[in-house]
Structure 1
C-alpha cells in the first residue's frame, strides 16, 4: 500500500503543478509531465532489488527534480512536499549515515537557494509557508527512519525464525540419531550381558558339573570299597548339583528379565536369598539405604552375582549361619558390604570365585576388598563410583 501511495502522491502533485502552468506555456507543461514520468520510473527502479546499488543516485535525481519545481514555481512552496516524499524514501532505503547526512545537506542547500530565488522574484520570503511545508520534510524523514527500523526488525525476526527453524530441524535430526544410538547401545548392552551370563554359566555351572562328574566317578569306585566314604561323596555330589541348579535358575531368571520385562532389582535379590535359605538354611538379612532406582541397569546383574557368590562362599567355605548384606545407594556411588559369621581365615586365598568376582567388579570401574580374621567371619566390601570411574593399568589380580 505504501508503494502505491507514493505513486499517487506524485500524480496528484503533478496535476497541481500542471494546472498552475499558464495555458500558453507548453514547454513548462511538458516538463511537468516529463518530471512526473521520471518520478514514477525512478520509484519502480528504487524498490527493485536489482537496482539497490544505484538507488541513492535515483533518490538524488528525485531531489533534483523537486528542486527544479521550486525554481519553476517560485510562488509556491508545494515543492517541499515533493522533498518530503524524497526524504521518506531516502530514510527507508539508505542505511549509510554518510549518505543520509549528504542527502539532507543537499536538501537544506536546495531549500536555501529556492527561498532566495523566490524572494527576489516574488519580493516575499514567505517564511511561514516555508516553515509549514519544510516541517513536512522533517516529518517524512522521521517516518522513513521508523519504517526503516520496522523493516530491519522484520528482517531480524525472519532471520531468527529461519535460524530457529534450522535449529529445530537439526535438533530433530540429533534426537533421531540419539534415539537410534540409544537403541544400538541398548542392543549392544543386552548382547554383552547375555555373553556375560553365558560366560558365567560356563564358569560356574560348568565348573560345578565337572566337579560333579568327578565326584560321581569317585563315588562309583568307593561304593565297591567303602560305603561310608561313598555316602559322603554322594552328599558332595548333592551339594554340587544343588549349587549348579541354583546358578541355572538365576541365569534363566536374568535372561527372562532381559527379554523385555521390568527388571526388579531388589525383589530378585530377595528371591535369590529366599531360595538359597531353603536349600542351605543360611539366614540372610538384607538392608537397603537410599533409592535403588539410581543403580544402573547394567550394574544390577553384577551386584546380584556378587551377593550370590558371597553367600555361597559364606556357607560353603565358612560354614556361616547368618549373613548381613548392606546396600547403600546414592547418586555418587553404590556401596555393598557383605558380612557373615563364618569361621573366617587368617590368610585369604583368592580362588576361582573371588577372582571372577574381582574381574567382574573391575569391568564396571569398581573396587573390592576382602577382610577376614580367624574366627571372625568374612567381609566383602564393594564400591562402584557413579560419577567417575577409574581403572588401574597393569595391576595384577
Structure 2
C-alpha cells in the first residue's frame, strides 16, 4: 500500500509550488485566472479523495492535462512542477497500461510546451521529468510486488488453515474408524469364541450328562463315552487353538515388540502433547523378547528424561534394521547439557544394552539436545531362538 500521508503531503507541496511559481512569474494575475487555478485544484483533489471509479479518474486526469497546457501558456509558472504533479497521479492512480499511456502523454506535453524554450530548458525539464517518472515506475513496481507477496501470503495462510482443519477432521475420522474397527474386531472375536469354545463346552456338558446316566449301570458304555469325550475334548482344544491363532495373526506375533513400542509412544504423545516421531526402515525383522524389552525400557526412560530434564518439545526415534544389526537412534531438541556426569538412568540404559551384547552411546551439547544410540546384533536374536529350540521351549514367547 502507498503511504497516503506522504502522497497527500507531496500533492499539497507540489500544488503550493505551482501557485508560488505562478505568483513569481506572473505579476498580472486577475480574478479569472484565480478562478481557473481554483478549478484546477478542485479537480485535482476530487480525483485523489472522492472519485472511485476508474473511468471517472481517467476523465478527471484528461481534464487536468488540458488545464496544465492552458495554465502554463496563459498564466505561467514552472513547467517542470506542473509535469511532476501529473506524473505523480499517472503513476499512482492507474494500472500499468494507463500509467504508460499517460506518461507518454505527459512527455509529449512537456516537449510541446518547451518547444520554443532554450535547449538548456528542454534538457533540464525533460531530464528531470524522465528521472522522476523512472523513480515512480520503480516505486510502483516494488509496491505491486509487495501487494502480490501479501496476497500470496494471505492465500497460503488460508490454505494452511484449511489444511489444519482438514487434518483435524482426518484425525477425528481416523479415530472413529479405529473405534469402529475395534468394535468390529471385538464382535468377530466374540463370534469366534461362541462358535468354538461355546460349542465345545456345550457338547462336553451333554457328554458328561450321558456318562452320569450310564455310570454304574453299564461300565462298558461309560468307558466308551469317556473315550469319545476325551477325543472330542482334544479335537475341540485344537480348534480353539486354531481360532486363537487366527485372532492373533502371525505378523502380530512376529512384530509384537515393535507394536508395543509404538503403543508406548502413542500413549506418551496423548498424555504430554509432545511431538514424538517414530520411523523405521522398509525392511524389518522381529525382535526377541529381550531385545524388545530393552528397547522399550530405553525409549521409556529417554521420553521421560527429555520431558523432565531436557525441556524438549520434539523427539525423533529411528529404528534402522540392517541385514546384521538394528541401530536405534533417539534425538530430542532439549536444552542439552555440558560436562554431563553419567547418572543412574544412563548407567541403567548402558547395562541393559550390554547384557544382550549390544553397544550403547550418547552425546549431548548445551542447547543442542540429547542423542542416544544403541546397536543390537541380529545374530544375538538367532542365538536366543536356537537356545529356545534346543531347550524344547515354545517359541511363541519370543516374538
Structure 1's 91 and 172: CA in aligned 2 closer, same or farther, altered over 3 A? Answer: same
Determine the structure 1 residue equivalent to 2:27.
22
Structure 1's 173 and 100: CA in aligned 2 closer, same or farther, altered over 3 A? Answer: closer
Q: CA deviation at 1:92?
A: 2.7
Q: Aligned equivalents of 1:115 and 1:210: distance in 2?
A: 117
Q: Deviations over 1:207-243 (max 9, x none)?
A: 3123323432453456423164355345336646866
Q: Secondary structure at the match of 1:22?
A: coil
Gaps of at least 5 residues in structure 2 are: 1-5, 258-282, 288-320, 322-399
Q: Aligned equivalents of 1:198 and 1:267: distance in 2?
A: 24
Determine the structure 1 residue equivalent to 2:94.
94
Determine the structure 2 residue equivalent to 1:194.
186
1:207 to 199, 206, 225: 199
Determine the structure 1 residue equivalent to 2:83.
83
Determine the structure 1 residue equivalent to 2:147.
155
- Asked if 1 retains the 8 angstrom alpha-carbon contact of 2:107 and 2:126, the reply is no
1:41 to 34, 41, 46: 46
Q: Aligned equivalents of 1:147 and 1:61: distance in 2?
A: 26
Determine the structure 2 residue equivalent to 1:372.
none
Alignment of 1:242-253 (within 5 A): none
Q: Aligned equivalents of 1:166 and 1:25: distance in 2?
A: 61
- Asked if 2 retains the 8 angstrom alpha-carbon contact of 1:222 and 1:229, the reply is no
Structure 1's 220 and 26: CA in aligned 2 closer, same or farther, altered over 3 A? Answer: closer
Asked whether 1:11 is paired with 2:16, we answer: yes
Q: CA deviation at 1:160?
A: 1.7
Q: Aligned equivalents of 1:90 and 1:210: distance in 2?
A: 97
Larger radius of gyration: 1
- Asked if 2 retains the 8 angstrom alpha-carbon contact of 1:91 and 1:144, the reply is yes
CA-based RMSD of the aligned residues comes to 3.7
Determine the structure 1 residue equivalent to 2:106.
107
- Asked if 2 retains the 8 angstrom alpha-carbon contact of 1:84 and 1:139, the reply is no
Q: Aligned equivalents of 1:203 and 1:95: distance in 2?
A: 79
Determine the structure 2 residue equivalent to 1:378.
none
Determine the structure 1 residue equivalent to 2:219.
225
User: How high is the TM-score relative to the length of structure 1?
Assistant: 0.53
Determine the structure 1 residue equivalent to 2:66.
64
User: How high is the TM-score relative to the length of structure 2?
Assistant: 0.53
Asked whether 1:235 is paired with 2:230, we answer: yes
